[in-house]
Structure 1
Amino acid sequence: MTKATRALLVALLLGCGDSTGPGEGGPTLSAVTPSAVPSGSSAWTIVLTGRGFVADSRIRLDGVEHATIFTSAQELRALLVTAELADGRTIDVTVVNPDNTVSNALPLLITNPLPVLSSVTPASLLVGDSTRVLVVRGGAFRHNSVVRWNNVDQTTRFVADTELEVDLAGLDVAWGMSVSLSVYNPGPAGGIATVAYLVQNRRPVVSGITPDELPKDAAATTVEVTGENFVPGVQVRLNGSAISTTYYNAHRLTFVVAGANLPTVGALTLSVANPDPAVAPSSDTTFWARPSRTHLIDLLARDLAWDPVRQRLYASVSSTDARYPNAIVAIDPVTGDILDHVNVGFEPHQVAISDDASFLYVTLDGEASVARVDLSSFTRDLVFTLGEGVFGTMYAQDIEVLPGHPHTVAVSRVNLEVSPAHEGVALYDDGVQRPLATPRRVGGNLIEFGTPTILFGYNNEDTGWDIFRMDVTDSGLVLRDDRQGLVEQFYADIRAGSGYVYSTEGNVIDAASGWLAANIGVEGLGVPEFDGSRIYYFRHVIMYVVDARTWTVVGSQPMTQFPPSYYSVTRWGNNGFAFIGPTQVVIFRSDLITAPLPPFPSRPLTSLAPAGTFGPTPP
């Protein structure tokens, strides 16, 4: 092949297709003006300068030929329309000549603006929301703008240059948090706008508190709160102060509090607050801080009585007491406060209150007399002596007010100079003795009204251990019968209630028949419930609860380190007891009082004493 032929073949090959760059005599680009155009512009003319342009030269944008205006061999122009400028991007600009020679490429930047983020709808979300479409409003948004949720790109819908939409997944709103929500415009230029967006924990709802009260002397107690919308990190607040809280699930949490840590006695506000971000704490619920369940009052007391009308206890106080000698003091058993006192005479001892709570009678050991306190005015309104017995001056050992007759009191009399000391039992109306009284050593030194018309007496002075029954008449007391073997114990005491007489020995006597009804098998100070449904026996520092239907023990409770003195245990209020310790009045409350009794058994009651088992055989 000749040189001429080879030259012709090369020329033909070069004429086929585009050249890969500006060849000799081909187009060459030196500049694109402007080099950058803002996205979103309506139209823009760009000017290309260089050399080697011809009339049919064409501008190519990213390899696509564009309508071109030939100005000179050194300049070409093109008008970019709105659609081409909608979004930010980098365009490769080249020039192609009719002989398919292509210039070098220069970049044209369609720049994105910095976005503006002004609002988000909804303004916040709740944990677990099912509607999770966010509408983001602002300015300078583009088709390639991206919403980011905590720096993670989300699929974004372009609505307008002022509005974007994004769908969130369930996990995005699974817990409360402050989210970094942003709009990102990619380059060229562009940028990011960010706001803090809240997924808020829902407002908790409290439906129950167990227990909903606690006494001030309670040990550390676990309190359960139930409700809705609890989340990890939830806290209970008492009177606005946070308490360490244990979370279990959305419906249950607990906290531990001791009574001593409760801020005050009375109604406390309890609320539950989820951690921020949160809508609000729950509504306030009442949690009660009750007064201490146990009070130890420094008093050298001798006897106690309960006033259900004024809701107070009365204590007779020894002459040797440092604060209230020879007085009757009124005590609030709920708070343990001493409310008032009245001096009644030297060495007050046994007390008895009328069933209408109008009068309190008290024996005066130092004056051989009985005083009466008018409880409406809390003043002493009467003092009377008991007269002379066979061996001299008579003193009162025990007293009981006649049921339904607040002005009449039965007095068991003693003579301190002889033994046995008992001087019979008499009735006194406003201090005046009725004519009929039992003779010496008849009637019992301890007395209780079994019914409004029958007075029981127990002789615990000697081994006769008699149980006497006396009929109440307008003229005084008439002995009905004297039975032995029903109670057999020195220093025993008896209490009456709801048709029965209870001894500290554990025997129960039917008041109507006078015969033994049962032996409970528990010894101690007996206190019948007001309604007769149960009896409480105090033995050393344990209280036993006896079901009065079956005469069986159904519960027990430790009390305090102070053993009660005999003859001093008293029931008060809905669930309270009081007794006299060596140097204190001990007041406490027991849940056993209000605890349900077991179902009544259908089988025979084996705890009932068979006829003749205890004491004489009934006729």
Structure 2
Amino acid sequence: MTPTISSISPGSIVAGPPSQTVTFTGTGYVASTAAALNGTALQAKYVSATSLQVAVPASALASGQIVSFVASNPSPGGGNSAAASFSIMSPTPILTGLSPQTVPQGAAATVTVNGSGCEANSVVMWNGVARPTVFVNGTTLQVSLTSMDLQSYGTGQITINNPGPGGKTTTPTELVVAANLPTIFSVSPSSVAVNASSNVPVSVSISGSGFAPNATVQANGQFVRVSSQSATNIRISIPPTFFTSAGSIQIVVSNPGSPAVQSNYATVTIATPAVSFSITPNSVAAGSPDTQITVSGSSFFQDSIVEWNTTPLSTAYVSSTQLTAVIPASLISGFAQASIQVSTPESQGQPLPPQPFTTFLALPINDIVYNAVDGLIYASIAGSAGEGLGNSIAGIDPNTGVILKTIFVGSEPTRIALSSDGTQLFTGLNGAGAVRQVNLTTATAGLQFSLGGDRESTTRRTSHRASLHFLVNLTRSRCTGTTA
């Protein structure tokens, strides 16, 4: 036998209650008659051949909708009844409050909507447009608003809509969109040179946060053109009339509001380019590692570059009066006489007077002489130079500072002199009270001549110094063409 449904009691249910029992009235019900809602089986209780009680779970009643009930008897001989429509009515929503009541301009926000009559398919509307909604419970919804929803300051309208059947929309509640507090972190460039003859605007980049899409910028109280902007960066164009004399420009960003919301001030300095500078240190020992120098002056800029013989060095801007630069070890590995220059685009091609930088040999040298025959400088190296160089004669390339010869000669070599043909060198040995011959061709130490007497003898020391003084003067006279 096929069952029928002629009526359902109650005739409708308001969405949101706990599980409910409805009664089918019809014909053909048996002890095994089953019921279903939208194809999902429900628990049924046989009352009589004309009455069936059906339990509807709360999950099926969570939102307003039109559903279909069907009764069925098992085979053989059974079948399904015609579908009977049933209304789950949407409650009338009421909006009582928002949390938060104010959101910042231009930033995505999640707002909690409080009230009553909320259901699973309730939708929160922003200015009449549905927005992604999360059903929390019958009194609470959450809505997600994008940064584009909130891009303009002022107020917007929040409503709750229950779609139906029987659904309604609440009276609007205002959500305040507060203008952001803009903040300037930095401006670039922060220094610009005086340029009275230019007719070209200067572009300045402002970095910060909280900039509204329609923010405005003032320079010394005058609105300037904004060429591009985002929430964290604004690029402006400042007229050339601002740069005719030394001074400063106060930059401020304003977000629209009632009143407008202003940022902190940032300063662009208008400076007269530097006329001179100094460097520290201005010399180092040849063979030194990477060396940092400090350049002191005035009106340096963030794009100022320190140069070594026109080659740019790694430069750091410290302030308008100080730069630092690193001279790589490769440039100071030997003898060097360099020109240090500061290049600044703002100086309009007017270079500053360069400063010299030199290297030197860091050796404990007692005496030195130049040999025109082989082109080397010969130096007597004190014993304090340590193993390898101490108590020796060193042959040094005057162009590179590289030691090409090291000839051990004995204890504390002092004054030195050359032979006329440049092949022999003579050095006094303070530690031995003697003079020693050195063969420069073979780079070997030769005969040693004692000066006699006790090593501490005043007469011997006087004679020793006099002999070497004569040899040195003799050598120098031969090199210069004068008479000793």
Higher Rg of the two aligned structures: 1
TM-score normalised per structure 2: 0.40
TM-score normalised per structure 1: 0.33
Larger RCO, structures 1/2 (Cα 8 Å, 6+ apart): 2
Where is the helix percentage greater, Structure 1 or Structure 2?
2
